[in-house]
Structure 1
Amino acid sequence: MKVKPRDIPALLKSVGNGTRAVLVFGRDEGLVRERAEKIGKQVAEDLSDPFQVARPSLGDIKESPSILLDEVSAISMLGGRRLVRLEGAGNESTEAVKLVLDSEQGDGLLVITGGDLKPTSSLRKLMEGAKNGLAIACYEDSMQDLMGLIQSVLGDAGLSATQDAVSYLVDNLGGDRMVSRGELEKLVIYKGDEGGQITIEDAKACVGDTSALGLNQIAEAVTAGNLVSLEKFLERAWTEGHSAIPILRHLQMRIMRFHLARGMMDQGMNAAEAVNKLRPPVFFGERDRFMGELSRWTSRKLEMALEILLEAELDCKTTGNPADVICARALLRLAKAAR
């Protein structure tokens, strides 16, 4: 069964006994690992316990396709359900997983992790169509996801953060959930036992740009209509192995903030009032630049920009054409519109 995003939090707390297998997949490897571990710990608190957890390799499956079913059917030496973990799976594992779904032997749970499986992937199609299986897609964190992660990690440590600090963290986290969580945990350690509130100075002291090459720089070059900077930042991004989807989505978030502010301006607010209403707030050092770029964009232009970005993302996933070319064309088109 294909799991809808709104249903994922509940499943991370409790997967039904009727579920034989769960596939967690996507480009965000950190989020894939985090969700797979949460599901696995519903069965085995210690994921390294050899008596309750089995971890067959892809090589094992190639030699004996029935090994997954054998492990799921085995009885745990300590009682309770047995957990079987299969990592880095792709289409080569489809038939072995199908054996588990088609059988009623045993009550173990198979948790599978995979990369960016396309909609045409046989493994993904099998799991999305199975009544006793779940397929959970993991996409790059949105602004709302990052704010939730920040609140969760800091809140668990008894900390809060100023609006400027939250804005800075949202701008400088992303790309990989585990890296983002690690950066926030580093910030918690930095703050120590004194507790209290995280300031912008604390955030800058601990958290670097985990998006590697500054997705902000690319997005800002587009909304400012700076073609020279855009070409330079894109070239650097491709050289370092950045992928097109995070770039497109980061720009989408910036355009959506512009659209929200422009909507308030259309209702009578001035630019400063509209920007002050945005949450998370615009970082103080960026306010003047943000308002300057906002003046270049009408509501209609922003709506068209969002349509172009959504179409580009869809093309990246479905056409088979080079994603970096699709992304670059869309960004250059929007940067020219901002001039």
Structure 2
Amino acid sequence: MTALKARDVSGFLNQPDLKSGIILIYGPDAGRVRETTDQLQKHFQGKDADPMNLISLQYADLDNPDATIETEANTSSMFGGQRIVRVRGATNAAAPTLERLAAENVPAIILVEAGNLTPKDKLRKVLEQAKSARALPCFADDARSLDQLMREMFRENQVQIDNDALQALKDQLGNDRQITRSEVEKLILFAAHTKKVSLEDVMTLCGDNAMLALDEIIDSAGTGHVQKLDQALSRAFDSGIHSSAILTRSLMHFTWLRAQRAKMEEGTSLDQLVNGARPPIHFSRKAKVQTQIRTWSSGNLATACTRIYDAIAQTRKNASLDIAHTRQALLAIATIAARH
């Protein structure tokens, strides 16, 4: 058997035990599959890589994929060196050809990228059983491995990132390794001269700007900062955020506040309410949200929701006045908050 466990992949990448044959790289995380294949390609190309020896194929784009892969795998290098055939997006349909090539002990190294494969999938099954093949699983990163990846990248480039900035970056990124690497590389490039990354840098360069703008609007309204709300609304409208998105997000927020206020009155602590929120509340907003739950009464929250409902109805009746109705409703809500 030549199937590797996930824990063995790192060791194999550092020192592959094949000089030719087939390596299947598969898993649900496309970014990690691609990155792992890149690392293997770099290893087999060596320091003085000849680009003529690298053949890159997209399985779905080939008219006759079986014949093409077989031909490329058996073609000798024109100027010496090992031929590398990289096949992207392989499916179970490629299994018979790859099984045959594995049995023939071809001189080339064939790197096969695939999606998530179960033990019953033929592509994985035949290559796990072949002596001249290896099957490498690439499962999605967890929070710990992504944290390690980010810290290593910043350290290798001698860039210091503040703890709150690193936490914000982790909160905003998903678990795709390629996306994570791309965002960290962007920050490293940005900090090429200062060698420092702050929370503001992360929020500016990596944040979901539309979501950040909406959060600023609802928190300004909910905490009674009228002038700040007016400025946030102007920026949002100028950047193309539609009034319907603002009103919908505001209604969701104040409806949620009503539910949390009721729980608080029943004895649940503010920390429990905010820390248990789903989806999670970003740490930079937690104090503001706690303030809103504590200071808004159930009656005033009901009034706020009614104002938003009315604004939504008005914007549907007269779309040309949507900005005016949105601004009027939220400024009225901010005024209520400012009085308490």
- The reply to whether TM is greater than 0.5 is yes
Q: Which residue of 2 aligns with 1:82?
A: 83
Deviates more, 1:133-142 or 1:93-102: 133-142
Q: Which residue of 2 aligns with 1:101?
A: 102
Q: Which residue of 1 aligns with 2:169?
A: 169
Deviation per residue, 1:86-118 (Å, 9 max, x gap):
111001100111111101242x10000112223
For structure 1, which runs of at least 5 residues remain unmatched after alignment? Answer: 215-270, 276-281, 291-339
In 1: Cα distance, 2:63 partner to 2:47 partner: 27
Matches within 5 A, 1:139-158: 139-158=139-158
Sort the Cα spacing of 1:209 and 1:60 in 2 relative to 1 into closer, same or farther, 3 A. Answer: closer
Deviates more, 1:82-91 or 1:54-63: 54-63
Sort the Cα spacing of 1:105 and 1:36 in 2 relative to 1 into closer, same or farther, 3 A. Answer: closer
Deviation per residue, 1:216-262 (Å, 9 max, x gap):
xxxxxxxxxxxxxxxxxxxxxxxxxxxxxxxxxxxxxxxxxxxxxxx
Matches within 5 A, 1:167-316: 167-195=167-195, 197-208=196-207, 283=283, 285-286=285-286
Q: Which residue of 2 aligns with 1:114?
A: 114
Q: Give the fraction of aligned pairs with identical amino acids, expressed as a percent.
A: 26
- Structure 1 moving runs of 4+ over 4 Å: 45-50, 59-62, 282-290
Residue 24 of structure 2 aligns to a residue in which SS?
A: strand
Shift of residue 22 of structure 1? 0.9
In 1: Cα distance, 2:5 partner to 2:287 partner: 36
Q: Which residue of 1 aligns with 2:54?
A: 53
User: 1:55·1:84 contact (CA, 8 Å) conserved in 2?
Assistant: yes
User: 2:82·2:109 contact (CA, 8 Å) conserved in 1?
Assistant: yes
Sort the Cα spacing of 1:288 and 1:11 in 2 relative to 1 into closer, same or farther, 3 A. Answer: farther
Sort the Cα spacing of 1:46 and 1:53 in 2 relative to 1 into closer, same or farther, 3 A. Answer: farther
Deviation per residue, 1:114-167 (Å, 9 max, x gap):
122233211011222233212222222211121122112212221122222222
In 2: Cα distance, 1:213 partner to 1:97 partner: 47
Residue 88 of structure 1 aligns to a residue in which SS?
A: strand
User: 2:154·2:160 contact (CA, 8 Å) conserved in 1?
Assistant: yes
User: 1:32·1:138 contact (CA, 8 Å) conserved in 2?
Assistant: yes
Name the amino acid aligned to 1:86: V
In 2: Cα distance, 1:213 partner to 1:140 partner: 25
TM-score w.r.t. length of structure 1: 0.57
TM-score w.r.t. length of structure 2: 0.57
